[in-house]
């Protein structure tokens, strides 16, 4: 049952609401956890510069493409693409890439929720520590003052070994996400974004200022902005492109779905610029928030995925007010993760509502429940199932546990395939007048945008796909 829209009944109340929700979808673990991790592993400056290039030339044109599909189609990702296709006189089979996007959202959420569970754990640890410090008359103590750095760092290994706790945390995050999505677009998603995003930005600015004064800001700036292009390996470029797609929530139903709830009056091109700029700005500020603290404690920027969870608590340990700031830092990540997970779930839920005529609450609990079940496998990948291999016969994934397999399959296969089809569709198959009218662009700007979508995006994304699948080609 492809209803014309659920947007008319329950769309964003204003353009600002849409912008906050879309920025909320984009800004998430990708910005605060993954981007600093990748920038740190890939030597900083050159990676950052290349990443920004990917955002402007590939990400931004695709953001506009997806929102326009949603606004024209006024339905979930798959039905919206079908509508644009049939209004353009081409096969509705293009809806396929709406479907692969929905599948990507589904799969991403299974591990996203597990990682967000780690964040909840650290909110608990740091929050408890701050409260204890406060009542013992030392509100500005360093974090976990009673522990030594080894003990602090083993908190993460202990957490990973404790699978019942991981499952409880995973369940808590999933329930929070489901509860908001079940309440609907205006009273759930929009409301969450209008509270959480401003709070997120306030915390981001405060902690960055704190890091600038107490940490090693100069070294962090040099690390992030002095490009050493000899460090820019082909694999780093490949990761930068993939990260740009992931971070802007592209190719995973979210932006098409949110676009469906946008009013006809909203001008899409400037809105797309705001979303891309905010997402990238937050990633860079997150680097400028994290690296001064990491460097001040003499820790390694290239720590990998444990940078935020293991290195930072150690750094907060030695810093004045570290107990309070550490607590606020994990709250900040939590807010970012929640507004993103909402969009991941909504992308799948809106499809179920339209496809099966399900009630919103039923769809939210059903889909979220299924994501939770598969996510159990991700949580167990860190401990009892660490030796399990889902795709032992595919070289890329032969050594990966289930969590890394799902992460790798979405990042290296599903997102690039979906983005590739999106750009070919919008660049070559969608009706020119329809597309022009939706974007509101004309003249040279329209030509430039369509050129990027039609030529640069497919080529660049095609390269991610090929090199992602055949990394040996990069060696």
What is the binding site for ligand PHE (CB under 6 A)? 25-26, 28-31, 105, 108, 246-247, 249, 252, 254, 340, 343-344
As measured in angstroms, the least distance from the Cβ of 88 to ligand PHE is 25
Report the distance separating Cα 461 and Cα 237, nearest Å.
Answer: 11
Cβ neighbours, 10 Å, residue 165: 15
**Min. distance of Cβ 250 from ligand PHE in angstroms?**
7
117 versus 322: smaller Cβ distance to ligand PHE: 117
Q: Which is nearer to ligand PHE, 275 or 303 (CB)?
A: 275
Instruction: Tell me how far, at minimum, the Cβ of 156 lies from ligand PHE, in Å.
Output: 20
Looking at beta carbons only, is 141 or 255 nearer to ligand PHE? 255
Sign of CA pseudo-dihedral 289, 170, 150, 144: positive
In the complex, the smallest distance separating the C-beta of residue 32 from ligand PHE, rounded to whole angstroms, is 8
Q: Which residues contact 286 (CB under 8 A, 6 or more apart)?
A: 31, 32, 35, 36, 204
- Least distance between ligand PHE and beta carbon 321 (Å): 27
Residue with Cβ nearer ligand PHE (248 or 380): 248
Structure tokens at 14: 């204003």
To the nearest whole angstrom, how small is the minimum distance from the Cβ of residue 27 to ligand PHE?
A: 6
Q: Based on CB atoms, which residue is closest to ligand PHE, 21 or 424?
A: 21
The 3 state secondary structure assigned to 423-463 is HHHHHHHCCHHHHHHHHCCCHHHHHHHHHHHHHHHHHHHHH
**Cβ(372)–Cβ(170) below 8 Å:** yes
Shortest Å distance, C-beta 350 to ligand PHE? 13
CA distances from 234 to 183, 227, 285, 304 (A): 44, 15, 25, 18
Per-position DSSP letters for 252-315, written without gaps between them = SSHHHHHHTTS-TTS-HHHHHHHHHHHHHHHHHHHHHHHHHHHHHTT--TT-GGGIIIIIHHHH
- What is the DSSP code string of 384-403? TTTT--S-TTSGGGTT--HH
Judged by beta carbon, residue 68 or residue 119, the one nearer ligand PHE is 119
Contact 376, 392 (CB under 8 A): no
Cα(408)–Cα(405) distance, rounded to whole angstroms? 5
Q: Phi/psi zone of residue 470: left (φ > 0), alpha (ψ -120 to 50 degrees), beta?
A: beta
Report in angstroms the alpha-carbon separations of 341 from 62, 175, 319, 324: 20, 11, 32, 26
For ligand PHE, which is the closer residue by CB, 110 or 214?
Answer: 110
Nearer to ligand PHE, 274 or 434 (CB): 274
For residue 138, the minimal CB distance to ligand PHE (Å) is 35
Q: How far is the CB of 62 from ligand PHE (least distance, A)?
A: 12
Q: Which of 216/239 has CB closer to ligand PHE?
A: 239
């Amino acid at each position: 049952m492809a209803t014309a829209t659920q947007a008319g009944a329950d769309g964003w109340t204003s353009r600002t609401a849409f912008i906050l929700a879309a920025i909320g979808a984009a800004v998430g673990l990708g910005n605060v956890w993954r981007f600093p991790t990748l920038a740190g592993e890939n030597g900083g400056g050159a990676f950052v510069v290349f990443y920004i290039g990917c955002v402007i030339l590939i990400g931004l044109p695709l953001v506009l493409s997806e929102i326009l599909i949603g606004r024209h189609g006024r339905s979930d990702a798959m039905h919206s693409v079908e509508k644009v296709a049939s209004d353009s006189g081409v096969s509705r089979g293009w809806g396929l890439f709406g479907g692969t996007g929905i599948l990507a959202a589904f799969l991403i959420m299974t591990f996203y929720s597990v990682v967000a569970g780690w964040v909840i754990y650290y909110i608990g640890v740091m929050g408890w520590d701050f409260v204890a410090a406060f009542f013992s008359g030392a509100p500005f103590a360093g974090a976990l003052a009673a522990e030594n750095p080894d003990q602090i760092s083993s908190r993460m290994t202990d957490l990973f070994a404790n699978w019942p706790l991981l499952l409880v945390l995973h369940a808590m995050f999933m329930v929070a996400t489901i509860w908001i999505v079940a309440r609907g677009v205006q009273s759930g998603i929009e409301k969450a974004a209008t509270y959480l995003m401003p709070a997120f930005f306030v915390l981001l600015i405060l902690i960055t200022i704190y890091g600038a004064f107490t940490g090693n800001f100069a070294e962090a700036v040099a690390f992030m902005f002095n490009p050493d292009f000899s460090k820019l390996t082909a694999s780093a470029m490949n990761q930068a492109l993939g990260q740009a797609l992931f971070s802007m929530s592209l190719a995973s139903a979210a932006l098409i779905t949110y676009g469906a709830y946008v009013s006809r009056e909203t001008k899409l091109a400037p809105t797309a610029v705001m979303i891309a700029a905010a997402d990238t700005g937050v990633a860079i500020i997150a680097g400028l928030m994290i690296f001064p603290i990491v460097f001040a404690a003499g820790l390694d920027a290239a720590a990998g995925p444990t940078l935020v969870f293991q290195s930072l608590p150690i750094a907060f340990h030695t810093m004045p007010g570290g107990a309070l700031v550490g607590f606020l830092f994990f709250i900040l990540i939590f807010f970012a993760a929640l507004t993103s997970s909402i969009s991941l779930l909504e992308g799948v839920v809106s499809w179920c509502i339209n496809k099966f005529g399900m009630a919103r609450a039923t769809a939210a609990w059903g889909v979220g429940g299924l994501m939770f079940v598969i996510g159990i496998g991700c949580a167990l990948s860190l401990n009892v199932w660490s030796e399990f291999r889902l795709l032992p016969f595919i070289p890329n994934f032969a050594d990966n546990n289930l969590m890394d397999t799902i992460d790798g399959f979405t990042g290296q296969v599903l997102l690039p395939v979906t983005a590739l089809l999106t750009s070919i569709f919008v660049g070559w198959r969608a009706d020119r007048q329809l597309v022009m009218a939706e974007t509101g662009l004309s003249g040279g700007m329209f030509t430039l945008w369509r050129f990027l979508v039609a030529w640069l995006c497919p080529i660049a994304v095609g390269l991610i796909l090929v090199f992602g699948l055949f990394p040996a080609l990069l060696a």
